[in-house]
């Protein structure tokens, strides 16, 4: 090459290299931006399709990250939906749960939502808190709830849910709060509940749960509050239950336990 090793040549090569690099970065980030825009448009459309935000769009802004009850991350993807006590009516399934891959917090406490909990709830793989308490939800708890591997709090109190407590609930290893009171849940308490090693609060009051308490309930070493009143639980109270638990609150009344409270308490 004519210009081999000359300084001018080096400069030209460096310049070309720098230009190409910049171009690549530019193209990559433009691609990223268009991916982000497309993703956040899907989220915006899903909010609109629910019909829940009609009166919750301040100054008519098209930026859904500024709508009531919405928080987005820096890339414009929704991480929080909080519409508690917002007088929402209609089916919970009107919100398309397949559209919020980055959602961490969903609170719809005390509305008038009806219908069942859709199995698509399982696609909210980043969810840490799910609050659907004080609504009018029917049907069963979908087994897909077990896919919410990052869940810390699950609150389904005060609905009309029926069927069993799915054993998949035992997959929620980070769960600290599990509230299923005041529904129509029946069947036994699944032994998989013993997998919830950091569970602090378990409340199952006022359902139609039956059978004996699983021995595995003794694995819940972090439990602070346990309430199961007003079910038809029977059999003995497992003595494992009170070993090295930190229980400060325990209520088991209005059941059919047939043993005395174990000495270990």
Ligand X SMILES: *[C@@H]1O[C@H](CO)[C@@H](O)[C@H](O)[C@H]1NC(C)=O
Of the candidates 98, 97, 141, 85, the one whose C-alpha atom is nearest the C-alpha of residue 116 is: 141
Which DSSP category does 90 fall into? E
Among residues 96, 186, 210, 239, the one that binds ligand X under rule CB under 6 A: 96
Q: Should residue 29 be labelled a site residue for ligand X when binding is judged by CB under 6 A?
A: yes
Distance of alpha carbon 98 from the chain centroid: 13
- How many residues bind to ligand X according to rule CB under 6 A? 24
Q: Should residue 91 be labelled a site residue for ligand X when binding is judged by CB under 6 A?
A: no
Q: CB-wise, 170 or 238, nearer to ligand X?
A: 238
CA gap 191, 166 in Å, rounded: 10
x-or-dash pattern for ligand X, window 164-183, by CB under 6 A? --------------------
Q: CB-wise, 33 or 198, nearer to ligand X?
A: 33
Q: Should residue 234 be labelled a site residue for ligand X when binding is judged by CB under 6 A?
A: yes
Residues 41-80 contacting ligand X, CB under 6 A: 42, 60
Q: Should residue 116 be labelled a site residue for ligand X when binding is judged by CB under 6 A?
A: no
- φ/ψ of 75, rounded to 5, equals -95, 5
Q: Should residue 232 be labelled a site residue for ligand X when binding is judged by CB under 6 A?
A: no
Q: Report helix, strand or coil for 128.
A: coil
For the four alpha carbons of 200, 254, 264 and 191, in that order, the dihedral sign comes to: negative
Contact present, 70 and 81 (Cβ < 8 Å) = yes
Contact present, 218 and 191 (Cβ < 8 Å) = no
> Where along the sequence are the contacts to ligand X (CB under 6 A)?
25, 28-29, 32, 42, 60, 85, 87, 96, 98-99, 110, 112, 134, 136, 206-208, 212, 230, 234-236, 258
């Amino acid at each position: 090459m004519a210009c081999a090793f000359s300084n001018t040549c080096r400069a030209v090569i460096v310049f070309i290299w720098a230009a190409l690099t910049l171009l690549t970065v530019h193209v990559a980030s433009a691609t990223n931006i268009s991916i982000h825009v497309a993703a956040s448009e899907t989220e915006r459309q899903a909010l609109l399709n629910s019909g829940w935000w009609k009166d919750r769009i301040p100054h008519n802004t098209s930026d859904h990250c500024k709508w009531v009850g919405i928080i987005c991350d820096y890339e414009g993807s929704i991480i929080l939906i909080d519409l508690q006590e917002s007088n929402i009516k209609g089916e919970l399934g009107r919100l398309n749960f397949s559209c919020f891959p980055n959602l961490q917090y969903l609170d719809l406490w005390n509305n008038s939502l009806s219908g069942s909990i859709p199995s698509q709830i399982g696609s909210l793989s980043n969810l840490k808190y799910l609050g659907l308490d004080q609504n009018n939800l029917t049907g069963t708890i979908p087994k897909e709830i077990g896919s919410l591997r990052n869940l810390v709090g699950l609150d389904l109190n005060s609905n009309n849910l029926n069927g069993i407590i799915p054993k998949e609930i035992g997959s929620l290893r980070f769960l600290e709060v599990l509230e299923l009171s005041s529904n129509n849940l029946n069947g036994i308490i699944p032994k998989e509940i013993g997998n919830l090693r950091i569970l602090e609060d378990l409340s199952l009051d006022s359902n139609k749960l039956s059978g004996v308490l699983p021995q595995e309930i003794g694995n819940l070493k972090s439990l602070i509050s346990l309430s199961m009143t007003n079910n038809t639980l029977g059999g003995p109270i497992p003595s494992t239950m009170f070993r090295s638990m930190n229980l400060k609150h325990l209520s088991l009344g209005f059941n059919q336990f047939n043993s005395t409270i174990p000495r270990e308490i």
